[in-house]
Every structure is written in C-alpha cells, then in structure tokens.
C-alpha cells in the first residue's frame, strides 16, 4: 500500500493522517476476521496508538498513553498486545530502536526493510522483492538458509537532508 495521502513513500507533514489511522484499523479488522483472530479493545487501542504517527513508539510510551485512558495498565498488557499484533502482521518491531511501528502492508505476508530518518525519526517500510532476493541469494551462496530478515537503514529522509 502506498501512503494514503500522496504518491510519495515518505509522508509529509500535511498529509491526512487520520486517514492513515482509519485505514490501518479497518485493515486490521479485515485481517482478524479473515484469520479468525480477535481484535479486542486493548489490542485495537494499542494498534491505534502505534499509528498515532509514522514514528516508532516504545512499549512504555504506549503504556503511559494507555494509562492516560483511565485504566492503569501494566507492562505485560502492552507487551501482550504488541505480541499479538506482531503475530497478526499488523505491527513491526524496529530492533535498532526497541520500538514499534504499524505495518504498511498488513494485507499480505511479507518480509520488509525499514528506512529510519535519524533526524525526524519517520520510518518508512519498504517491501522490496529485489532486496529480499539478493539477500537470500548471497546467503544461499554460503549455504545459509534465511528465515527472517531484519533490515534497518538509518539516514536522512527527503525532508531532512540538505539536498532538499
């Protein structure tokens, strides 16, 4: 899925982010219905919070925000929700940041790559078959069978680098 508001990969400040959120939630409902999974209120709320913007969010930030909802939530609550959402392919964990982002391609299984702006912290999820193939090929040449890839590229997004 391209970004909802523009044809650019990187969301600009002016984009209609409410639409990003509602699209993501609707896709989550679909996925869960299709797979027989239960998008309970907590899980739905955590997903909504993860999608509050295009930046990765830490588990304890989510926890604070959940607590502000009135219920005083404990760590296992948010980690369980995140675990479920990851399992359902609705959320990804960014290993280099110990943080989480909403999945931009929740409608199908995929291996993806992340572009992480070190300035504005925006994250974009790439889904390049090309990269995936090339990684698998190089690994296979050494007899290694890839099961999971974690590809996280840190740098400057178009908005944040000087050439702009």
Partner DNA sequence: CAGAGATTGGTATAATATAACAGCACGTCA
Partner DNA sequence: TGACGTGCTGTTATATTATACCAATCTCTG
Contact set with DNA (CB under 7 A): 37-38, 40-43, 58-60, 71-77, 79-81, 83-84, 93, 98-99
Q: How far is CA 64 from CA 49, 71, 75, 77, 86, in A?
A: 11, 10, 10, 12, 20
Return the residue matching tokens 């299984």. 109
State yes or no: residue 42 binds Zn ion (CB under 5 A).
no
* Footprint on this chain of a copy of itself (rule: CB under 8 A): 8-10, 95-96, 113, 115, 117-118, 124, 126, 128, 130-131, 134-135, 138-139, 142-158, 161, 163-164
Complex with DNA: residue 70 or 143, whichever CB lies closer: 70
User: Nearest CA to 160 among 112, 114, 123, 106?
Assistant: 123
Q: For 110-143, b where at least 16 C-beta lie within 10 A, e where not — what string?
A: ebbbbbbbeeebbbbbbeeeeebeebeeeeeeee
Minimum CB distance to DNA, residue 98 (Å): 4
Complex with DNA: residue 20 or 99, whichever CB lies closer: 99
d(CA 30, CA 33): 5
Complex with DNA: residue 79 or 113, whichever CB lies closer: 79
State yes or no: residue 160 binds Zn ion (CB under 5 A).
yes
d(CA 147, CA 55): 26
Residue 105 partner contact from DNA, a copy of itself, Zn ion, none using kind-dependent CB cut-offs of 5 to 8 Å: Zn ion
Complex with a copy of itself: residue 11 or 45, whichever CB lies closer: 11
Minimum CB distance to DNA, residue 85 (Å): 11
């Amino acid at each position: 899925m391209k970004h909802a508001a523009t044809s650019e990969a990187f969301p600009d400040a002016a984009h209609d982010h409410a639409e990003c959120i509602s699209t993501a939630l609707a896709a989550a409902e679909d996925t869960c219905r299709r797979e027989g999974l239960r998008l309970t209120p907590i899980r739905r709320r955590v997903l909504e919070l993860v999608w509050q913007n295009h930046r990765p969010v830490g588990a304890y930030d989510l926890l604070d925000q959940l607590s502000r909802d009135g219920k005083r939530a404990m760590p296992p609550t948010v980690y369980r929700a995140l675990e479920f959402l990851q399992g359902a392919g609705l959320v990804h964990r960014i290993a280099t940041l110990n943080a989480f982002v909403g999945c931009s391609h929740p409608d199908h299984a995929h291996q993806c790559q992340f572009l992480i702006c070190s300035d504005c912290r925006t994250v974009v999820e790439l889904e390049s078959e090309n990269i995936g193939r090339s990684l698998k090929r190089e690994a296979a040449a050494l007899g290694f069978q890839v099961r999971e890839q974690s590809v996280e590229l840190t740098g400057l997004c178009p908005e944040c680098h000087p050439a702009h």
